[in-house]
Homo-oligomer: A and B are copies of this chain.
Amino acid sequence: MGPFIVRDIGGLMRIARLAAPVCLVGCLAVIGVALFPAHRVKASPDGRPAYAKNGDMLPLGNYREWIYLTSGMDMSYSPKATGMGGMSMFDNVFVNPEAYQRFLATGTWPDKTVMVLEGREARSKGSINQRGHFQAVEVMDIEVHVKDEARFPGKWAFFSFDGPDKNGTLVPEGAPCYKCHAEHGAVDTTFVQFYPTLLPVAEKKGTLSSEFQKELQDQKAGK
């Protein structure tokens, strides 16, 4: 599997990345187009998750004012290149401030954690920029990883959004992203190994998963 899955929905080319800083995707190809009408009700401003009656997740409001964790570009867990005709993508990851503060204090995520992955095209030439990449104005993709212990059997769930103001569609529990996060997430099924300010916190607090600690040991041993 390659790093990009292209879906053409209603004339809008929507791109779901297979690998990204929070590994929220891969599973998206199995979802298809959301059948539910969009609800314009905003989630509560403190970033706690809220849902529509049909199980959709409500829009995230001002997630751009939450805590920034990291950005990646064209990340992929597959060595095989497929690409998008040379198109590149940035992924920016945000988390609600309350969950971030709890992570700093404990090294792990509290109930009601909401992590947002925002995808934007990585452009190269624009204004005076000649080389490298900057981020385009348009949001291409939004995915969410939410911890809601009473609501989801595995405590966490993924949602896919068609836009910042649209409702999110639940990614089915059997989708590959759940397994990948469970097997490879450094802390509580999340990819803290790619969040530069949080990895040292987890190391200090001793909250790295046994699987990730084994991965580190194998790397040191040159396996």
A residues neighboring B (CB under 8 Å): 3, 19, 21, 64-65, 67-68, 70-79, 81, 90, 92, 94, 97, 100, 120, 122, 126-138, 184, 186, 191, 193-194, 196-197, 199-200, 212, 215
Contact = CB atoms under 8 A, between A and B. Distances in A.
Nearest to A194: B134
A71, A120, A184, A215: residue with the most chain B Cβ atoms closer than 10 Å: A71
A184 B67 CA distance: 29
B135 A72 contact: yes
Copies of chain A in the complex: 2
Nearest to A81: B131
B71 A135 contact: yes
A129 to B, nearest CB: 6
B72 A127 contact: no
Contact of A71 (B74, B90, B127, B129): B90
Given A137-B196, A196-B137, A128 B74 contact: no
